[in-house]
Amino acid sequence: MTLKMTRTFTIILLLLVTGSCMKYGPSETEAFLPGPSSKGLFIVNEGNFMYGNASLTYYDPQSGNVENEVFIRANGINLGDVAQSMTIHNGLGYIVVNNSGVIFVIDPATFRLKGNITGLISPRHIHFVSQNKAYVTDLYREKITIIDPGTYTVTGSINTTGHRSTEEMVQWKNDLFVSCWSYDNKILVVDTQTDTVTDSIEVGNQPSRMILDKNNKIWCAASGEIYRINPDKRTVEKIFTVTDDASYSYLEINASKDTLYILNRDVWRMAADDEKFPAQPFIRNRNSRYYGLAVDPATSHIYVADAIDYVQPGKIYRFDPDGTPVDTLTAGINPGAFCFQ
């Protein structure tokens, strides 16, 4: 009995020791050839906070081809924690990864890294002022960081005293309008020549997305309302109410910059010249938890992101300018931002 037990014991021990090796280590890389159209759409998938599972999806609107996780597949490293936005400038893609505190610079044709920018706290968006100057907003800093996009280095900062969070940016002439999103209600005006805050405009709570229309008016979404702002006078001209419950709205504009698209449960459409918010939505919500909105600057096709349950790859619904469904694709977890090539 005891001998048998000893033998069994030894066998179990040997089995355990031999069958225990974890699969972990380097990720393989793939070579992506530059796409035929070079008119693709990047979808920035936020991932889950503190999961480090952000990813980048590439979609070719002509062929309908989708490639998921292109960043890790091309570079063998993770995109990081909470990818926030992507901007293409001078043929390079700048992906801002919020909670990783990094901006990755990639070649949009091959998705290969060209460099990265660090020394940031909680970066949100990047705006290019000139060849060697770009601004980066931050969620947890009373500063806008100035970087040199040529050398990928931090070169300075703009104090935004009293405003801990800076979010979206839109430029009119030499003035940059910056929304202060987290627990704030201001749009700051920054002189891009002197890198100083010169003025501010009060809007509703939590101002976020801003765009410039064909009439040179700035539109800003803040807690269930849309603000039309005259950037020369720096005044609010008109407030449009989207919903009464102060919920978050996404805001985009079409190719000719004359039609606004607003996402707040449903998708709404209004002309930049309209003085009244439409009574009926343009595209009704199909029981989706919408997470992002984009309008193709070339074709005015509309893209709406659906996060589903926030812990599985989201869906992207593509509509033509009349709101007719064109395509549905699967992206990554929490697709929140888009970038047209």
Partner 1 sequence: MKYITLLYWVLFCSFQLNAQDTVQVRQLDSIRIVAQRRLRDMGVQKTSLDSAGLRNDITGSLAQVLSQNSTVFIKSYGRATLSTASFRGTSPSHTQVTWNGMKLNSPMLGMVDFSIIPSYFIDEAHLYHGPGSVIVASGGLGGAIALSTRTIPEEGLHLHFIQGIGSFRTFDDFLRVSFGKNRWKTSTRIYYTSSANDYIYTNYRKKIFYYDQQGNITGFEYPREQNQNGSFLDFHVLQDIDFNGSGWGNWNLSAWYSRTDRGIPLLNVDYKENTSVRNNQRENAFRGVIRWRKLQQYSKWEAKAGYTYTDLLYEYKRDMGDNQWANMVHAQSYVNTFFSRLETEWYINKWMFSGNLTVNQHFVTSLDNAVVSVEGKQNIMGYEQARVEASGFLSVKYRPAERLGFSVDVRKDLYGREFTPLTPAFFAEYLVSRRGEVVLKASAARNFRYPTLNDLYFMPGGNPDLKPEQGITFDGGITTTHKETRYSWNGSVTGFYSLIDNWIVWLPTFKGFWSPVNVKQVKSYGTEINGSMAVKLNKNWKLSADGHFAWTKSINLGDPVNWADQAIGKQLVYIPEYSSAFTGRISWKAWTFMYQWTYYSERFTTSSNQTDSRIGVLSPYFMNDISLETAIRLPHLVINLKGIVRNLFNEEYESVLARPMPGINYTISIGISPL
- By CB under 8 A, tell whether 25 contacts partner 1: yes
- By CB under 8 A, tell whether 6 contacts partner 1: yes
Reduce the DSSP state of residue 215 to 3 states and report it: coil
Residue 96 or 339 having the CB closest to partner 1: 96
Region from 35-43, 46-54, 57-65, 272-280 binding partner 1, contact rule CB under 8 A: 46-54
Using CA atoms, how far apart are residues 77 and 71, in angstroms rounded to an integer?
7
- By CB under 8 A, tell whether 18 contacts partner 1: no
Residue 53 or 171 having the CB closest to partner 1: 53
Distances (CA, A) of 149 to 31, 43, 83: 25, 22, 19
Alpha helix stretches (DSSP H) within the chain: 2-18, 70-75
Q: For the chain, give the longest Cα–Cα distance.
A: 95
- By CB under 8 A, tell whether 84 contacts partner 1: no
Among 31, 233, 276, 309, binds partner 1 (CB under 8 A): 309
- By CB under 8 A, tell whether 72 contacts partner 1: yes
Among 183, 194, 214, 237, binds partner 1 (CB under 8 A): 183
Closest distance of CB 13 from partner 1, Å: 6
Strand order in the sheet with 250-253: 250-253, 259-264, 266-271
* Residue 46: CB atoms within 10 Å: 30
- By CB under 8 A, tell whether 296 contacts partner 1: no
Among 40, 41, 44, 53, binds partner 1 (CB under 8 A): 53
Among 66, 88, 109, 113, binds partner 1 (CB under 8 A): 113
Closest distance of CB 51 from partner 1, Å: 5
Using CA atoms, how far apart are residues 337 and 85, in angstroms rounded to an integer?
6
Using CA atoms, how far apart are residues 127 and 73, in angstroms rounded to an integer?
27
Closest distance of CB 17 from partner 1, Å: 7
Region from 170-178, 272-280, 283-291, 294-302 binding partner 1, contact rule CB under 8 A: 283-291
Q: Please report, to the nearest 10 degrees, the dihedral formed by the alpha carbons of residues 67, 68, 73, 74 taken in order.
A: 50
Place of tokens 């996060």: 307
Region from 45-53, 191-199, 227-235, 267-275 binding partner 1, contact rule CB under 8 A: 45-53
Distances (CA, A) of 318 to 58, 125, 158, 281, 295: 14, 24, 38, 17, 9
Residue 97 or 270 having the CB closest to partner 1: 97
Using CA atoms, how far apart are residues 163 and 183, in angstroms rounded to an integer?
9
Among 40, 41, 56, 69, binds partner 1 (CB under 8 A): 69
Among 52, 278, 281, 321, binds partner 1 (CB under 8 A): 52
Residue 99 or 300 having the CB closest to partner 1: 99
Closest distance of CB 38 from partner 1, Å: 19
- By CB under 8 A, tell whether 112 contacts partner 1: yes
* Residue 110: CB atoms within 10 Å: 16
- By CB under 8 A, tell whether 33 contacts partner 1: no
Start-to-end C-alpha separation, the chain: 74
Place of tokens 């005259």: 230
- By CB under 8 A, tell whether 80 contacts partner 1: yes
Using CA atoms, how far apart are residues 126 and 137, in angstroms rounded to an integer?
7
- By CB under 8 A, tell whether 307 contacts partner 1: yes
Region from 35-43, 162-170, 212-220, 272-280 binding partner 1, contact rule CB under 8 A: 162-170
Site for partner 1, residues 195 to 254, rule: CB under 8 A: 205-206, 245-248
Among 7, 11, 13, 155, binds partner 1 (CB under 8 A): 13
Q: What angle do CA 153, 158, 159 make, to 5 degrees?
A: 135
